[in-house]
Amino acid sequence: MRPLSFVEISKRYGPLLALHPSSLDVRAGEFVTLLGPSGSGKTTLLNIAAGHVAPSGGKVLIGGRDVTHLPARRRNIGMVFQSYALFPHLDVYENVAYGLRARKTPEGELARRVTDALAMVQLAELGRRAVRELSGGQQQRVALARALVIEPDVLLLDEPLGALDRQLRKHVQLEIRRLHQRLGRTMIYVTHDQEEALVMSDRIAIMRAGGIEQIGSARDLYEQPANSFVASFLGESNLIEGRVARIERGIAELEVPQLARPIRGAAAPGIAVGAMAVALVRPESVRMDTAPGLAARIEESVYLGDLLSIRLRLGNGQQIWCRRFAREGAAPQDQATLGWLPEEVRILPVSPASITTSDQQGG
């Protein structure tokens, strides 16, 4: 296992700057996920690491060695694709052995490593099975074994679970996470699924429009997002826009049109008096029937088993989601008074074209 670093890496396709100059250090043995919407530059960055795409600027370092201009075959990198990319004319054993045969590995060592790799992904009994006879989850594990058997310095995974159904995807997520913990390989994982990123990663890099918005642990990103885009993309969020009226001892007051009182919360870096900003209030921080508070009307209540996800609307039209225990109940048309603790609110810079409502939080 070796560290991997991107140093001011960029990619341009004609007039289109697909990847802005970006730097990212992945520590040896770390599992880092690139998370973002389609077109954010995730796969471009991964393909540059693999050597499949040449960058327009910057460097790629593996173990401190500059590999920017090395071909893919000389980087000792394993890659797993969403499409699996298995060879249909080869059985499971030979699919896993392919990379070792290309490296002219002696037959005795090849057999041992393929057998170990298949056992690692719990397919030891299926070595001579045709790949077309396998389920989607089994084919994905063959692809993973094929990437691991060459003992790569870095393992790259490009949305490898996208073709699996939800239940199987959860199962394979945990398998990949356990493999990482056991093997300690440096891994970079691409996904647009935030739950996948939260379950699997040591750190997450949130990407948007060809750049990295923020990188940190799931807890850091959830509790201390850098801006409104990160807040809206990771986890459920209520984002309320207004203007910063004052900042005192790290607590900012946000004046919101047609709200009876300002919203107070911890000021993120970059917040200034007079600037537009958003208050991030997570649904689990919203308390109903608090006094004093903000008057709201319950518009929808979604049953989630032990919890209710409740959509309310403030007097200025702002939509708010909250969570409460199902046994407490909440009926549409009911009036409520909302509140939250200032220390659980974060006042953030506004990202251009960011999401400022929580319409996607319906359950």
Same domain, 90 and 119: yes
Same domain, 178 and 34: yes
Using an 8 Å Cβ cutoff, are 238 and 321 in contact?
yes
Predicted confidence (pLDDT) at residue 176 exceeds the cutoff of 90: no
Residue 166's H or E segment, with its range, is: helix 166-183
Which of 223, 258, 292 terminates a domain? The answer is: 223
Question: Residue 146 falls within a domain, yes or no?
Answer: yes
CA neighbor of 328 nearest in space, from 356, 301, 359: 301
For residue 244, give the CATH number of its domain.
2.40.50.140
Residue entry with tokens 């984002």: 239
Which of 205, 223, 241 terminates a domain? The answer is: 223
Question: Residue 363 falls within a domain, yes or no?
Answer: no
pLDDT tens per residue, range 299-338: 888 888 888 888 999 988 889 999 888 777 666 667 888 8
The domain of 336 spans: 228-358
CA neighbor of 23 nearest in space, from 4, 43, 5: 5
Same domain, 83 and 208: yes
Same domain, 217 and 232: no
Domain total in the chain: 2
Residue 211: band (very low, low, confident or very high) from pLDDT cuts 50, 70, 90: very high
Predicted pLDDT at 353: 54
Which of 180, 198, 223 terminates a domain? The answer is: 223
Question: Residue 141 falls within a domain, yes or no?
Answer: yes
CA 74 from centroid of its chain's CA atoms: 29
Whole-angstrom Cα distance, residue 327 to residue 313? 22
Angle value at C-alpha 172, between 169 and 173, nearest 5 degrees: 80
Same domain, 123 and 201: yes
Q: Give, rounded to a whole angstrom, the gap between the first and last alpha carbons of the chain.
A: 40
Residue 352: band (very low, low, confident or very high) from pLDDT cuts 50, 70, 90: low
For residue 98, give the CATH number of its domain.
3.40.50.300
Same domain, 250 and 212: no
